[in-house]
Structure 1
Amino acid sequence: MLWACIALPRLALDAVLRRTPDPSRPLALVSGPAQLRHLHAVNASAAAAGLKSGMRLSAAHALLSDVAMVEHDPASEARWQRFLAAWAYRHSSQVSAQWPGAIVLEVRASFRLFGPWPRFEARLREELDGLGFSHRIALAPTPRAARVFAGLRDGFAVTSAEAMREALARVPVRRAALPDDAGERLHRMGVRTFGALKAMPRDGLRRRFGIALLDHIDRLHGDADDPLECYAPPDHFDGRIELGFEVESHQALLFPLRRLIADLATYLSARDGGVQRFTLRLEHEARHALPSHEADREQEAGPAHTDVPVGLLAAERDAAVLFDLTRNRLEQAALPAPVIAVRLLARELPPFVPAARDLFDTRPAQAVPWPQLRERLRARLGDEAVHRVAPSGDPRPERAWRRAGVDDDAACAAPAPPRPPRPAWLLPRPVPLRDPRLRIVSGPERLESGWWDGDDARRDYYVLETSRGQRAWAFAPPGVQGDWMLHGWFA
């Protein structure tokens, strides 16, 4: 087996920057008790101004007064690590996020799908850059060795156990991810490299440092099994972005919405599924709470919210399609109060079946597939504004078709009763047809129906050609060729 480790040295900071409209603005994460506030992490522009991790908050304000401060949230950092584990799950069936700030995945089985390691590594880096997370990647035959190498040098890769052992022997003990403070204690004792540690008597190490150190050494070299806590994707998606200010316009909500939709699409791709119904929840301050028939029990003690439901007729996972539909729904929703956070909830995640297309598709480049066009029309015009036309069993032309829902596939798939050719353009009501040079092309088609509903119809229909060459569909009383009533036109 071969394991890749993706180290995430700035996970908490990147999680904040990716939802910030201007990531180049100086920004710092703040943590610590009220009287000992310090900087947890800073972005590049803040570091260029002299700010650094561990600096006291007062000193940071003295150097840069306009730096944006965001509270460091360890729980949010853990959620984003799980999100990246879900992303990694699309590349491997064995993924673990048990170590903080790192994702490990088995990659040898994925080479058949994604190509050799250099190509696979480039794919991982490209997707991580698109998601907005800085990273370091290393490859080794054991997950712990890959984690150690990722902390030492980005891009380091060994594929054989012998080369891995030689590389591990040169690793400083303080950089070998030893349990507790064993690395620092060994360094003070004069043990500088992992090779020197490996050569020490095991009984003495066990008495001084405990069995955990020996287990780590054996698992690092692959001499003992390393049971990992493998990641299993959840059966729902719940993403939330807290805004730094109150938003009162739909346009200002598009940036966080795009981020949430992209995260949803990544999650769906990882679990190889789609979404058919989800809810965009716009959260307001509690003082703006308004009575709503959609309010549920869980919101009684929390902030008020406005729910924007989004429903599709078929499962979808394309980020551009989902964003376009959600944006149209959002623009139709009223904002009763300023928005302080945006949340996306998706609990119905059916299997996704991609639409089949011909190998030599002749569709124009700018054409929109029918399922996407249908959803776009429903989002813009309303669910009831888009419908299908289905055949009915009534032979009267004005009642031969009926309105059906866009998802009523069974009704629309029912074949129409066999009838002579009828025009595609049917007039709302028949009108007299006056033309001295009419020529009968075909007919008559006799129609006698409607006696049961009081709208009796007895007509002989003909296909006529006018003096201008037009094809008309007209009728006359049974047995009469005259007094034509025009009912439709053939194209």
Structure 2
Amino acid sequence: MRWACVLLPQLALDGVLRRRPDPDTPLALITGTPQRRILQTVNSPARALGLRPGLSLTAAKALVCDFATAEYDPAEIDRWHRFLAAWAYRFSSHVSLDYPRVLMMEIESSLGLFGPWPRFEARLREELTALGFRHRIVAAPNPAAARVLANAYDGLCIADDETLPQALGQLPIDRVGLDREVATALSRMGLRRLHQVLALPRETLARRFPAEVLRHLDTLTGRRALALDCYRPPDRFDVRLELNFDVGSTQALLFPLRRLTADLAAFLAGRDSGVQRFDLLLEHAQGEDSRVPVGLLSAEREAAMLFELARGRLEHLQVPAPVRALRLVARDLPSFVPQHRELFEERPQQTLPWEQLRERLRARLGDEAVHGLCARADHRPEHAWLCEGRGEALPTGSPRPGWLLREPRPLPDAAVRMLGGPERIESGWWDGDDVRRDYYRIETRSGQQGWAYRDVAEHGPLLLQGWFA
């Protein structure tokens, strides 16, 4: 087996930065008691100004007057950790969260689907960067070795157990996951690299150090298997983004909305499912939350489409009060069946598939403005279709126009040429709308083809009822 370790060195900071429109602003996460606030971590622009973790907030403000702060929240770190596990689940069925700030993935069984490891690794990096999380990735024959190698390397790939001891042996003894007291004792003995420790007799290590040391070394070298708990994605998506300030317009909500829908798309891809309806909740400082329901006619999971649909619904909302937080909740997550497409797509790149166009129109114009059409078993053209509902088979195989006029209109006989007909339709005696008509397929002087009729036993003009495509 082969395992990939995705180390997330600044998970807390990335979780805050990704919901800010300007990630280059100096930012510090603070923790501690109300009497003594301390900088827990800082981003690169803040570090360039001289701010360092461990500095008190008072001293930091005396040093730099203009930098943003946010609370260091362990619960948020755990939430982002689990969100990334849901994202990684699309690439491997064995994802573990046993190590803090680390995604451990079994990748040997996934190489046949996602290609050789260099291509697979490039895809992981591309998607993590798009999600806004910095990372280091290392692959090794066992998860413990991958984890310790990620402390010193990025992009390293150990293909087999034969080359693993050489890569592990160069690690400093304080970077291999041993207790600090054990690492200090080994360093004082002159053993500063792991290969020096591995060269010692096992009996010597067993006499001088606890049994956990030998067990850990055996796990690193693959002599002892390591059991990890496997992550399972939840059955619902519920993510909340707290805004930096009160927002009074829907335009200012588009940036966090794009992040939420992108996170939803990544979550759905991990579960191999789609979403058919979700709720967008706008939390206000006072009053009840504003709810924006978003419903789709079929399951979808494309990030751009989900954003456009939510944006269309949001723009129709009059925000009653300033918004402090945005929350997206999706409970209906059916299986996703990709649309069948031809190997050589003939559709121009500028056009949209019908499903996406339909949902975009519904979001822009409203649910009642877009309907599907289905056939009904009735010979009368004006009764042979329905806006919604379950359709039936057409009563005849004769061609019918795709566009019916709201009301038939007279058509001078001299202005048209007969192409076919007559076709007599007599029906409707049971519901009081009895018709007796002779239908003709006609062509106008401009080349348009239509469907016209004349009532039986009447000698009036032709009445145009519809146009053929």
TM-score by length of 2: 0.91
> Secondary structure of the residue that 2:465 maps to in structure 1?
strand
The question of whether the paired residues in 1 share the 8 Å contact of 2:454 and 2:463 is answered with no
The equivalent residue for 1:331 is 315
How many angstroms apart in 1 are the aligned matches of 2:131 and 2:318? Answer: 31
User: Which range moved further: 206-215 or 174-183?
Assistant: 206-215
Shift of 1:95: 1.7
> 1:193-217, CA deviations, whole angstroms, 9 ceiling, x for partnerless residues?
3334345565675676533333212
The question of whether the paired residues in 2 share the 8 Å contact of 1:169 and 1:193 is answered with yes
> 1:111-149, CA deviations, whole angstroms, 9 ceiling, x for partnerless residues?
222333322222222222212111122222221111111
The question of whether the paired residues in 2 share the 8 Å contact of 1:272 and 1:352 is answered with yes
> 1:224-253, CA deviations, whole angstroms, 9 ceiling, x for partnerless residues?
110012222222212111101001111111
The equivalent residue for 1:292 is none
What percentage of aligned pairs have identical amino acids? 54
> Secondary structure of the residue that 1:59 maps to in structure 2?
helix
How many angstroms apart in 2 are the aligned matches of 1:464 and 1:195? Answer: 91
> Secondary structure of the residue that 1:345 maps to in structure 2?
strand
The equivalent residue for 2:432 is 454
- 2:327 corresponds, among 320, 324, 343, to 343
Amino acid at match of 1:197: V
The question of whether the paired residues in 2 share the 8 Å contact of 1:179 and 1:216 is answered with no
Distance 1:390 1:205, change over 3 A: same
Q: How does 1:415-426 map to 2 (within 5 A)?
A: 415-418=393-396, 420-426=398-404
Amino acid at match of 1:446: R
Q: Which runs of 5+ in 2 are unaligned?
A: none
Shift of 1:75: 1.1
The equivalent residue for 1:241 is 241
Amino acid at match of 2:20: T
- 1:360 corresponds, among 344, 363, 368, to 344
- 2:407 corresponds, among 429, 445, 448, to 429
How many angstroms apart in 2 are the aligned matches of 1:349 and 1:326? Answer: 17
Distance 1:440 1:121, change over 3 A: closer
The equivalent residue for 1:102 is 102
The equivalent residue for 2:215 is 215
The question of whether the paired residues in 1 share the 8 Å contact of 2:2 and 2:139 is answered with yes
Amino acid at match of 1:453: D
The question of whether the paired residues in 2 share the 8 Å contact of 1:474 and 1:484 is answered with no
> Secondary structure of the residue that 1:340 maps to in structure 2?
strand
Distance 1:432 1:272, change over 3 A: closer
Distance 1:452 1:76, change over 3 A: same
> Secondary structure of the residue that 1:341 maps to in structure 2?
strand
The question of whether the paired residues in 2 share the 8 Å contact of 1:435 and 1:467 is answered with no
The equivalent residue for 2:461 is 484
Q: Which runs of 5+ in 1 are unaligned?
A: 290-303
Amino acid at match of 1:382: G
How many angstroms apart in 2 are the aligned matches of 1:429 and 1:281? Answer: 45
Shift of 1:74: 0.9
How many angstroms apart in 1 are the aligned matches of 2:446 and 2:237? Answer: 63
Amino acid at match of 1:15: G
Distance 1:344 1:462, change over 3 A: closer
User: Which range moved further: 377-386 or 108-117?
Assistant: 108-117
Shift of 1:367: 1.1
The question of 1:231 aligning with 2:209 is answered: no
Distance 1:209 1:246, change over 3 A: farther
The equivalent residue for 1:252 is 252
How many angstroms apart in 2 are the aligned matches of 1:205 and 1:33? Answer: 43
How many angstroms apart in 1 are the aligned matches of 2:444 and 2:114? Answer: 66
Q: How many residues align?
A: 468
The question of whether the paired residues in 1 share the 8 Å contact of 2:438 and 2:455 is answered with yes
> Secondary structure of the residue that 1:152 maps to in structure 2?
coil
Q: How does 1:19-58 map to 2 (within 5 A)?
A: 19-58=19-58
How many angstroms apart in 2 are the aligned matches of 1:428 and 1:170? Answer: 82
The equivalent residue for 1:15 is 15
The question of whether the paired residues in 1 share the 8 Å contact of 2:409 and 2:465 is answered with no
How many angstroms apart in 2 are the aligned matches of 1:469 and 1:323? Answer: 43
Shift of 1:466: 7.0
TM-score by length of 1: 0.88
Amino acid at match of 1:488: Q
How many angstroms apart in 2 are the aligned matches of 1:123 and 1:452? Answer: 65
How many angstroms apart in 2 are the aligned matches of 1:468 and 1:30? Answer: 75
User: Which range moved further: 248-257 or 49-58?
Assistant: 49-58
